[in-house]
């Protein structure tokens, strides 16, 4: 044994020296002398990566970055903080796609979740996938497609971690049908703010399960999620319909999300929508969809409509064969059904476009745009995004007051998404705050600051929120950002009391996710 002691203490001495030299803040000795201290990083590269995010607006410097190799490393770290008389804050960082420092931990420790790299296991009998909370949705999709299976509910962009989207909601054009991603989770493994490792589901530890879903990282760190699967299609009929009238556009969206699936046949699988601005049609990163010829026509249509038109997106999944002969949809019948459906809609005549694409390229559509923007140096710019959930009864006022009023959409850079979804697809027990009305709209004002206009965009966001408040709108921020507890209380409304109670049960010292600015950290 002595032969072991010498190198270990040598290693410890070296680690301690590095810490003393490089760590700006003192972390407890119990941590610095613990075996897991070898997972800590103090170099400026690690620290600066952990103090930035996709938003590029907030920069909080942690004392160290932690690279776990297992969930029990995370549990040890949490326990060291919780039982220390000098506890420190800890934030899980998935892919850092937050926009307001939500995954940062000023003077605390940021856990670099991707270091876990847990396996992804598909159960074809149980129709579920088990994946580490650090895994990305694109990884999960690639693995499940090997079995001709797929998760049901998505985000528009797949390079996000399971833990990151499940801490918020996970919304895209499938949510009207299946609910958000948090409505499609069977089980979770959690490391709580006390360092306990707990499995939970609707029937086992349901309090923790529902609190964590949409819980903004406040109650525990998700180390495994079991996600529901369905049969995967091979192909997608992807359609875009143009409108010059916002009211007709939203009426048709509402009609489409009200259609019920008939028997085993085809059904509408995805409904979204966005504003298309004449000046940014070409640089819109969401999806290269239109031919040059179509783009010219659309641009002309927009220019005759004060520079802005409305684009309804709808998709149908088909071809479920995969050599197993399941649910093979009759394509000719699908064509007829779609024609019949289009006949009921009010888009501008001659402005219906379609593409038939593979399921993978449909789901991964934003990635192409990302690569283009990266090549132009326009990905790593500040993103003062504002995401709102606005009730159907306020959507016309929102259009007039915000989209046509406060915002000068004819100059805005970045997509503006507008699409309806259904409250009944959310479980009331989940933490995410949503408007109190069956149909509400997901609005993404996803602007980039490309021309030193960050201050202007920030002011605009503040004005939009003020307008919504003054009008008494039934709305909630999605991916919310507030800095005072009063605002958080208002945000959670009826859910606040329970949210605070669960916090005191699972993270009583306020160690977790300090970047959300909800609860104070008590040493
Ligand atoms: P991070 O930014 O790393 O973390 C976000 C929060 O979750 C932090 O509070 C963090 O502490 C916490 N967290 C991270 N991992 C864990 C974990 N394992 N356990 C517990 N807490 C954890 N959202 C949608 O709903 N729909 C969309 O279509 C959509 N599109 C997007 C497109 C782009 C280009 C971008 C940048 C974001 C988009 N988002 C969308 C928002 C996205 O879902 C959230 O920002 C999400 O939190 C990002 O995941 P992440 O892994 O980067 O999380």
Q: Position of tokens 């971690």?
A: 161
Ligand 1 near 167 CB (within 6 A):
yes
| pLDDT given at position 15 | 42
β-strand pairing of 64-66 with 109-112? parallel
| pLDDT given at position 498 | 98
Ligand 1 near 225 CB (within 6 A):
no
Ligand 1 near 136 CB (within 6 A):
no
Alpha helices in 421-507 (DSSP H): 454-470, 485-492, 496-506
- CATH number for the domain including 205? 3.30.465.10
**356 and 242 share one domain:** yes
Mutate to test the pocket of ligand 1, among 54, 167, 432 (most ligand atoms within 8 A of CB): 167
Contact 479, 99 (CB under 8 A): yes
Terminal CA-to-CA distance of the chain, rounded, Å?
38
Ligand 1 near 473 CB (within 6 A):
no
Return the active site residues: 97, 156, 272
Ligand 1 atom closest to residue 478's alpha carbon, by position in its atom list: 25
pLDDT at residue 49 tops 50:
yes
Number of domains, the chain: 4
Tell me the CA–centroid distance for residue 165 and ligand 1, in Å: 5
Ligand 1 atom closest to residue 156's alpha carbon, by position in its atom list: 28
Q: Give the separation between CA 223 and CA 92, rounded to whole angstroms.
A: 10
**CA nearest neighbour of 421 among 186, 170, 187:** 170
Question: What is the pLDDT averaged over residues 356-374?
Answer: 94
Kindly report the protein residue whose alpha carbon is nearest to atom 18 of ligand 1.
Answer: 163
**CA nearest neighbour of 451 among 283, 240, 281, 251:** 283
**103 and 138 share one domain:** no
Ligand 1 atom closest to residue 515's alpha carbon, by position in its atom list: 9
Contact 228, 184 (CB under 8 A): yes
**CA nearest neighbour of 292 among 302, 305, 282:** 282
Q: Residue 504: how many CB atoms within 10 A of its CB?
A: 12
Look at residue 169 and tell me if it is in a domain: yes
The distance between the two most distant Cα atoms of the chain, rounded to a whole number of Å, is 84
Tell me the CA–centroid distance for residue 475 and ligand 1, in Å: 21
**284 and 264 share one domain:** yes
Confidence of residue 213 (pLDDT cuts 50, 70, 90): very high
Tell me the CA–centroid distance for residue 54 and ligand 1, in Å: 10
pLDDT at residue 2 tops 50:
no
Question: What is the pLDDT averaged over residues 209-231?
Answer: 98
Ligand 1 near 172 CB (within 6 A):
yes
**42 and 89 share one domain:** yes
Question: What is the pLDDT averaged over residues 176-188?
Answer: 98
Q: Residue 408: how many CB atoms within 10 A of its CB?
A: 11
* Structure confidence by residue, pLDDT tens digits, 68-109: 999 999 999 999 999 999 999 999 999 999 999 999 999 999
Q: Which residues does 168 contact at the CB level (< 8 Å), separation at least 6?
A: 214, 216, 432, 478, 479
Ligand 1 near 170 CB (within 6 A):
yes
Tell me the CA–centroid distance for residue 26 and ligand 1, in Å: 29
Tell me the CA–centroid distance for residue 520 and ligand 1, in Å: 22
Kindly report the protein residue whose alpha carbon is nearest to atom 5 of ligand 1.
Answer: 164
Ligand 1 atom closest to residue 54's alpha carbon, by position in its atom list: 36
**CA nearest neighbour of 499 among 519, 513, 517:** 519
Contact 409, 445 (CB under 8 A): no
Q: In which region does residue 440 sit, left (phi positive, over 0), alpha (psi from -120 to 50) or beta (all else)? A: beta
| pLDDT given at position 319 | 83
Residue 102 sits at the vertex; the CA angle it makes with 139 and 456, to the nearest 5 degrees, is 110
Ligand 1 near 54 CB (within 6 A):
yes
**347 and 419 share one domain:** no
**362 and 394 share one domain:** no
Ligand 1 near 387 CB (within 6 A):
no
Tell me the CA–centroid distance for residue 93 and ligand 1, in Å: 9
Residue 387 sits at the vertex; the CA angle it makes with 166 and 357, to the nearest 5 degrees, is 70
- Residue where a domain terminates, one of 88, 114, 140: 114
More confident residue, 359 or 263: 359
Kindly report the protein residue whose alpha carbon is nearest to atom 45 of ligand 1.
Answer: 98
Tell me the CA–centroid distance for residue 10 and ligand 1, in Å: 40
Contact 416, 311 (CB under 8 A): no
Tell me the CA–centroid distance for residue 395 and ligand 1, in Å: 26
What is the SS3 string spanning 21-49? HHCCCCCCHHHHCCHHHHHEECCHHHHHH
Q: Give the separation between CA 512 and CA 487, rounded to whole angstroms.
A: 19
- Residue where a domain terminates, one of 66, 84, 114: 114
| pLDDT given at position 330 | 64
- % of the chain exceeding 90 in pLDDT: 81
pLDDT at residue 384 tops 80:
yes
| pLDDT given at position 262 | 57
**227 and 238 share one domain:** no
Look at residue 265 and tell me if it is in a domain: yes
**CA nearest neighbour of 31 among 106, 108, 133:** 108
Ligand 1 near 98 CB (within 6 A):
yes
Tell me the CA–centroid distance for residue 417 and ligand 1, in Å: 18
Q: At what angle do helices 496-506 and 485-492 cross, to 10 degrees?
A: 120
Look at residue 493 and tell me if it is in a domain: no
Look at residue 375 and tell me if it is in a domain: no
C-alpha distances out from residue 502 to 193, 209, 437, Å: 11, 11, 25
Ligand 1 near 156 CB (within 6 A):
yes
Kindly report the protein residue whose alpha carbon is nearest to atom 14 of ligand 1.
Answer: 164
Helix, coil or strand: residue 519? coil
Q: Give the separation between CA 493 and CA 487, rounded to whole angstroms.
A: 10
**258 and 359 share one domain:** yes
More confident residue, 24 or 336: 336
Confidence of residue 324 (pLDDT cuts 50, 70, 90): very low
| pLDDT given at position 22 | 41
pLDDT at residue 374 tops 60:
yes
**CA nearest neighbour of 290 among 335, 240, 357, 356:** 240
- CATH number for the domain including 360? 3.40.462.10
Mutate to test the pocket of ligand 1, among 92, 225, 271 (most ligand atoms within 8 A of CB): 92
Ligand 1 atom closest to residue 95's alpha carbon, by position in its atom list: 52
| pLDDT given at position 282 | 66
**359 and 327 share one domain:** yes
Instruction: Provide the 8-state DSSP code for 82.
Output: H
More confident residue, 330 or 155: 155
Kindly report the protein residue whose alpha carbon is nearest to atom 32 of ligand 1.
Answer: 157
**135 and 11 share one domain:** no
Look at residue 153 and tell me if it is in a domain: yes
Confidence of residue 321 (pLDDT cuts 50, 70, 90): low
Q: Give the separation between CA 49 and CA 9, rounded to whole angstroms.
A: 30
| pLDDT given at position 335 | 86
Domain extent for 308: 234-366
Q: Give the separation between CA 308 and CA 43, rounded to whole angstroms.
A: 48
Look at residue 41 and tell me if it is in a domain: yes
| pLDDT given at position 326 | 40
Average pLDDT over the chain reads: 91
- Residue where a domain terminates, one of 204, 231, 258: 231
**315 and 278 share one domain:** yes
Q: Give the separation between CA 202 and CA 216, rounded to whole angstroms.
A: 19
| pLDDT given at position 35 | 97
| pLDDT given at position 260 | 76
Ligand 1 near 431 CB (within 6 A):
no
**CA nearest neighbour of 381 among 451, 281, 471, 465:** 451
pLDDT at residue 8 tops 50:
no
Ligand 1 near 235 CB (within 6 A):
no
Look at residue 497 and tell me if it is in a domain: no
Of the candidate ranges 45-59, 284-298, 299-313, the one whose mean pLDDT is the lowest = 284-298
Q: Give the separation between CA 176 and CA 152, rounded to whole angstroms.
A: 11
Question: What is the pLDDT averaged over residues 48-71?
Answer: 98
Look at residue 490 and tell me if it is in a domain: no
Ligand 1 near 105 CB (within 6 A):
no
Ligand 1 near 112 CB (within 6 A):
no
- CATH number for the domain including 61? 3.30.43.10
* Structure confidence by residue, pLDDT tens digits, 403-433: 999 997 667 778 999 999 999 999 999 999 9
**336 and 250 share one domain:** yes
Tell me the CA–centroid distance for residue 385 and ligand 1, in Å: 13
ipTM value > 0.95: yes
């Amino acid at each position: 044994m002595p032969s072991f002691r010498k190198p270990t203490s040598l290693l410890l001495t070296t680690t301690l020296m590095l810490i003393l030299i490089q760590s700006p803040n003192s972390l407890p000795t119990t941590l610095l002398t613990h075996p897991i201290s070898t997972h800590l990083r103090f170099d400026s590269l690690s620290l600066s990566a952990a103090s930035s995010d996709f938003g590029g607006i907030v920069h909080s410097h942690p004392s160290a970055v932690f690279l776990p190799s297992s969930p029990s490393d995370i549990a040890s770290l949490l326990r060291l903080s919780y039982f220390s008389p000098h506890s420190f804050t800890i934030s899980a960082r998935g892919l850092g796609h937050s926009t307001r420092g939500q995954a940062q931990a000023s003077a605390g420790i940021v856990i670099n979740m991707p270091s876990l790299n847990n396996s992804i296991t598909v159960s074809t009998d149980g129709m579920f996938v088990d994946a580490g909370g650090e895994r990305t949705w694109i990884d999960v999709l690639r693995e499940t497609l090997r079995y001709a299976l797929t998760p049901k509910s998505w985000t528009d962009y797949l390079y996000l971690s399971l833990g990151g989207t499940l801490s918020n909601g996970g919304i895209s054009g499938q949510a009207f049908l299946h609910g958000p991603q948090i409505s499609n989770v069977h089980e979770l493994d959690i490391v709580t703010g006390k360092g306990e490792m707990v499995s939970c589901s609707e029937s086992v530890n349901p309090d923790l399960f529902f609190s964590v879903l949409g819980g903004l990282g406040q109650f525990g760190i998700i180390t495994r999620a079991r996600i529901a699967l369905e049969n995967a299609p091979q192909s997608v009929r992807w359609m875009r319909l143009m409108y010059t009238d916002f009211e007709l556009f939203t009426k048709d969206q509402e009609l489409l999300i009200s259609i019920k699936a008939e028997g085993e046949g085809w059904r509408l699988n995805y409904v979204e929508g966005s504003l298309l601005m004449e000046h940014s049609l070409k640089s819109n990163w969401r999806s290269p969809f239109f031919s040059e010829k179509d783009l010219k026509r659309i641009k002309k249509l927009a220019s005759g409509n004060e520079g802005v038109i409305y684009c309804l997106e709808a998709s149908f999944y088909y071809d479920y064969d995969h050599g197993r002969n399941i649910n093979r949809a009759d394509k000719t019948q699908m064509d007829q059904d779609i024609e019949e459906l289009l006949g009921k809609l009010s888009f501008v005549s001659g402005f219906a476009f379609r593409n038939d694409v593979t399921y993978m390229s449909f789901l991964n559509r934003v990635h192409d745009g990302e690569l283009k923007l990266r090549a132009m140096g326009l990905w790593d710019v500040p993103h003062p995004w504002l995401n709102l959930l606005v009730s159907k009864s306020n959507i016309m006022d929102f259009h007039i007051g915000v989209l046509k009023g406060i915002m000068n959409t004819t100059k805005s850079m970045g997509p503006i998404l507008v699409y309806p979804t259904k409250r009944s697809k959310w479980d009331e027990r989940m933490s995410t705050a949503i408007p109190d009305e069956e149909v509400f709209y997901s609005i993404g004002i996803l602007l980039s600051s490309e021309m030193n206009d960050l201050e202007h965009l920030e002011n605009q966001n503040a004005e939009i929120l003020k307008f919504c408040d003054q009008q008494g709108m039934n709305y909630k921020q999605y991916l919310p950002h507030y800095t005072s507890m009063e605002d958080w209380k208002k945000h959670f409304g009826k859910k606040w009391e329970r949210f605070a109670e669960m916090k005191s049960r699972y993270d009583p010292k306020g160690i977790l996710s300090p970047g959300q600015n909800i609860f104070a950290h008590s040493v």
